[in-house]
Structure 1
């Protein structure tokens, strides 16, 4: 039977390492579907747009999941990435060492279209399932994220994917 790798994509945290509502929604989803048959891979390093703290985002994500009951030995090596393309690129060598796995990529609803474009290209040799967790933000904040995503998706469609 194939083992499922639950991949939680990085998202913002404060300069002190406090996870954002977006981060917690993704991590809560992961914790809720986690079972002993799964392994977990957290992504996220540093970047001015999501983490300026001393530790990589994936460190805080793992700590949060451990508190939620995810088993310590269920974690794969972190993918210390700086953006969504970097997520997929840095995940690849980690999961290529595993046999007979399927990937469940956990992101946010507003980010799903871009994640599918990127991951279906870079990780096309794997069985992929995508989850876009509902984002509970103000309408203004949500619309700002949607506008950013539309720009990013159009850039990939018009210019291709560089990695």
Structure 2
């Protein structure tokens, strides 16, 4: 039987490393799915749009999950990515030669369509389930802005393909 890896895609955090509501919603869903023995892979390095702090986003994500009861031994190496395509590329590097795993990709509901397009191409050798988590704090204009960004990004991928 394949070992399940919970892949939590990175999200924004403050310059001081405080996780955003988007990031916490993804991490909280990981906690719901986690059982000892499952592995957890956190993504997120640095980038202007999501993390300009001293440490990589994945570090803050891991610290949050440790406080919520995820065991240190169940973490895989960080995927220090800069954006969604890089998430998939770096996850593939972390999982190099691991055919004994299935992946649960945890992201936000507004982001899941683009994640599926990217991960299904780059990580096509893996069994994957995609989970789009709702962020209750994200609404109104902020949500509309995210949805518009995702729509444009998906259209670009469909038109031009992926570059990685």
Shorter chain as normaliser: what TM range?
Answer: over 0.9
Residue 42 of structure 1 deviates from its aligned partner by 0.1
CA distance in 1, matches of 2:92, 2:48: 24
Moved over 2 A (4+): 96-99
Aligned pairs for 1:3-152 within 5 A: 3-136=3-136, 137-152=138-153
Contact 1:43–1:58 under 8 Å retained in 2: yes
SS of 1:41's partner is: strand
Q: Give the conservation status (yes or no) of the 8 Å contact 2:99–2:126.
A: no
Aligned-CA RMSD value: 0.8
TM-score, normalised with respect to structure 1: 0.98
Asked whether the 8 Å contact 2:88–2:123 carries over to 1, the reply is yes
- Report the Cα distance in structure 2 between the residues aligned to 1:158 and 1:23, rounded to whole angstroms: 29
The 3-state SS of whatever aligns with 1:63 is: helix
Report if aligned partners of 1:110, 1:135 keep a CA contact under 8 Å in 2.
Answer: no
Whole-Å separation in 1 of the counterparts to 2:51 and 2:36? 30
Q: Which moved more, 1:136-145 or 1:146-155?
A: 136-145
Aligned residues: 163
SS of match in other structure, 1:135: coil
- Displacement of 1:99 in angstroms is 3.9
Give 1:118 deviation, angstroms.
Answer: 0.1
Long gaps (5+) in structure 2: none
Tell me if the contact between 1:14 and 1:20 (Cα under 8 Å) persists in the aligned partners: yes
